[in-house]
Amino acid sequence: MTGPEIRIYRLGSRFQAGIGGALDPLWWTRDIPAGARAELDTLMSALGPPRGDLDPPPAWVLGLGAIFEHQVQPFTYALALELHDLHRCEPASALAQAILKMDPGHVQATGLFATCAEERGDPVAARDAIGRLLDLRDPTRRTMPDIRLEYARLLAETGERDEARRQLARVLEAPLTVGQTQRRARAMLQALEPSPPR
């Protein structure tokens, strides 16, 4: 039994240099015609402005949300994971940022971005990404205790010990905190307590 010949091409540094460096988070919208962009912009502006603190894409891009969610995002996330597994954090982070541009509360893309930031030696970027996720997905501070625990760790690592203690207290107050998460939170809180004067 024979089949079609399969050729695999690797896009090397010469090609990457030719496309202009960093990946634009809205790479997937490049071929949308100007007329369609204007039409989408008009339709979306009737809904009012998005939250400005999230650095949203243009309104016409938000009008493509369903296309992104069902066709672009699954492929983009799978590719980002694959790149991370190959220890290629720079392109993996760029793809995670493309997802976060459209869906700032995407838990997995935030996790991937934060992991790559830490691997690059940038715990502040990791901390800020997780903090933004918690602001969006857990405004009541009563769910997501495992992610809040990770946030507290990054706060402590970046010198924000008081805020780390506050976050750990919230973890311990959350109704879903049990078992290992609770034990880790207590141990971290104890380690952050100031030493008594001698």
Give percent above pLDDT 70 in the chain. Answer: 88
- For residue 138, what are its two tokens? 């857990």
User: Does pLDDT of 22 surpass 60?
Assistant: yes
Give percent above pLDDT 90 in the chain. Answer: 48
User: Does pLDDT of 50 surpass 70?
Assistant: no
Closest CA to 93 of 105, 103, 79, 104: 79
User: Does pLDDT of 85 surpass 60?
Assistant: yes
Instruction: Give the DSSP letter of residue 3.
Output: -
Dmax over Cα atoms in the chain, in whole Å?
A: 81
CATH number assigned to the domain comprising residue 104: 1.25.40.10
Give yes or no: residues 82 and 132 share one domain: yes
Domain limit, last residue, from 106, 137, 168: 137
Give yes or no: residues 80 and 132 share one domain: yes
Give yes or no: residues 76 and 128 share one domain: yes
User: Does pLDDT of 7 surpass 60?
Assistant: yes
Residue 182 included in any domain: yes
pLDDT in the model for residue 25 = 85
More confident residue, 32 or 46: 32
Give yes or no: residues 179 and 154 share one domain: yes
Give yes or no: residues 132 and 149 share one domain: no
Give yes or no: residues 148 and 179 share one domain: yes
Give yes or no: residues 130 and 163 share one domain: no
Q: Taking residues 39-51, report their average pLDDT.
A: 79
- Rounded CA-CA distance 85/71 in Å is 22
**pTM of whole model > 0.85?**
no
Q: Residue 146's domain spans which residues? A: 140-193
Residue 88 included in any domain: yes
Domain limit, last residue, from 92, 117, 137: 137
Residue 101 included in any domain: yes
Residue 20 included in any domain: no
Residue 151 included in any domain: yes
Domain limit, last residue, from 121, 137, 153: 137
Number of domains in the chain: 2
Give yes or no: residues 150 and 180 share one domain: yes
pLDDT in the model for residue 192 = 87
pLDDT level of residue 72 (50, 70, 90 thresholds): very high
User: Does pLDDT of 19 surpass 70?
Assistant: no
Give yes or no: residues 160 and 107 share one domain: no
pLDDT in the model for residue 67 = 92
Closest CA to 106 of 81, 139, 85, 129: 129
CATH number assigned to the domain comprising residue 187: 1.20.58
